[in-house]
Amino acid sequence: MRLKTSAGFGLILAGSLVVAACGSSTSTSTPASSTTSSTSSSTSDTSVMSSTDSATSGGSVAMSGGSVAMSGGSQAMSGGSQAMSGGSQAMSGGSQAMSGGSEAMSGTSAGGAGGGGTLKVGVILPDTKSSARWETADRPFLVAAFKAAGVDADVQNAQGSASTMATIADQMITSGVKVLAIVNLDNASGAAIEKKAASQGVKTLDYDRLTLGGSAAAYISFNNEKVGELQGQGLADALGDKDANIVYLNGSPDDSNATAFAAGAHKILDAKSKYKKVAEQAVPKWDNQTAATIFEQMFTKQQGKINGVLAANDGLANAAIGVLTKNGVTLPVTGQDATVQGLQHILDGTQTMTVYKAVKKEAGALADAAIALAKGGQPATTGTVKDTQTSKDVPAVLLIPQAITKANVKDVVDDGYVKAAELCAGAYAAKCTTAGIK
């Protein structure tokens, strides 16, 4: 408003100058023509003309000044309009910024409700030697399950070292995981990890293996005694109703699952009066090389008089098959985990069966349980298992395993657990075709 007032004043001032200039011209010309001589008149006329020219010039200047003033006023008015427009834009920008801030706050709230930004879960797998499944199946299925749920998951492998697992656990706790799931390497180290996590306010889950003496909120696995029963029945089906000497290659003695597998197998085989257990030994850390040495000693001691091998998983089965093949012998051998190698042995006829555990379902169940815990709830479980060290009943999700023989190897491929291209490579192409696998 001040700019407009100044412009108006400039116009009035310019106008006054124009009037003053015109008045001066009229008063000078009249006296000169009536009272002076010709010379004086000439001089006076010249002066008058000069004065008139000056006045005219002054008027022009004044008019020019008025135009400048008007122009200045217009510019000022234009500047004022621009300033007002700029203010409106600034206000609009402020509104947008406030709107953007609201959206950002809304996004943060969504994350707090269960977005991947705030829910973080750690999973530690045991090794790469006891079974191929940990890296070929569990890792990719776990990553996919948590990604589908919008949860940030850190999946690592302890590579068979309890101290490495403890270090990884510490790092995950420090990084802010809400829930930590482990596949313990032994009960003592697993229980120590769970105790430390609890002291830091981090909830824990046992994945696949129960940690005896631990404090996990729940146990996510398969019915492991049922796994052993399927193995026992698979061996019995292959041996038939006749006298048979059986040897047992059990899993690691510090793995509670191995104990359950053996219990299930004995439940079936011990009931067969014609079957005789001639040797049984647990394989420390599920080590396949150690298993080969143990089985070779069994085979030598029994002078080859073995009719069946209850091997707790495909890795141990492969160790036994290697010794048998070297000695030119083929006989029924069980397994577990439906690995590519195990399935190929089944197609070859050197392994009787394996047990398929749909890891995709197990990984999904773990993701569901972890998310429930992270949000302050409790996992949906299907039953309980007994912790024999604490006598506590641990809430559990126990999935159903499936026996796989040559007749249904195709089921594992159809379920997406094993790729046909990998299973049926080379010499196995024709065998896969015979088994209905494409």
Domain residue ranges in the chain: 2-110, 120-222+360-399, 224-357+402-434
Sign of CA dihedral 205, 210, 212, 217: positive
Closest CA to 261 of 365, 405, 131, 158: 131
Residue with tokens 């040559």: 406
Phi, psi of 128 (to 5 degrees): -125, 0
The pLDDT of residue 286 is 96
Structure tokens at 147: 């990604």
Q: Is the pLDDT of residue 224 over 70?
A: yes
Please work out, in degrees rounded to the nearest 5, the angle formed at the alpha carbon of residue 358 by the alpha carbons of 356 and 364: 160
Res. 427: pLDDT tops 70 = yes
Q: Which pLDDT score is estimated for 55?
A: 37
Please state, for a pLDDT cut of 90, what percent of the chain lies above it. 72
pLDDT band at 10 (very low <50, low <70, confident <90, very high): very low
Q: Which helix (H) or strand (E) holds 371?
A: helix 359-374
Give the pLDDT of residue 28. 38
pLDDT at 395: 98
Mean pLDDT of the 72-85 span: 40
Tens digit of each residue's pLDDT (9 = 90 or more) over 369-393:
999 999 999 999 999 999 999 999 9
pLDDT of residue 8 exceeding 70:
no
Q: Which residue has the higher pLDDT, 347 or 54?
A: 347
Lowest model confidence (mean pLDDT) among 112-116, 127-131, 378-382: 112-116
Fold identical between 120-222+360-399 and 224-357+402-434?
Answer: yes
How confident is the model over 324-346, as pLDDT tens digits? 999 999 999 999 999 999 999 99
Given the candidates 2.40.50.140, 2.40.220.10, 3.90.78.10, 3.40.50.2300, the CATH classification of the domain at 224-357+402-434 is 3.40.50.2300
CATH hierarchy code of domain 120-222+360-399 = 3.40.50.2300
The confidence score (pLDDT) of residue 351 equals 98
Contacts of 428 (CB under 8 A, 6+ apart): 344, 347
Does pLDDT of 210 surpass 70?
A: yes
Q: What is the DSSP string of 273-327?
A: TTEEEEEEEE-GGG-HHHHHHHHHHHHHHTTT---EEEESSHHHHHHHHHHHHHT
- 117 versus 248: the higher-pLDDT residue is 248
Question: Residue 352 pLDDT > 80, yes or no?
Answer: yes
pLDDT for position 314: 98
142 vs 57, higher pLDDT = 142
Q: What is the pLDDT of residue 110?
A: 31
Alpha-carbon distances of 422 from 153, 418, 429, rounded to whole Å? 28, 8, 10
Among the listed residues 305, 309, 318, 338, the one whose alpha carbon sits nearest the alpha carbon of residue 406: 338
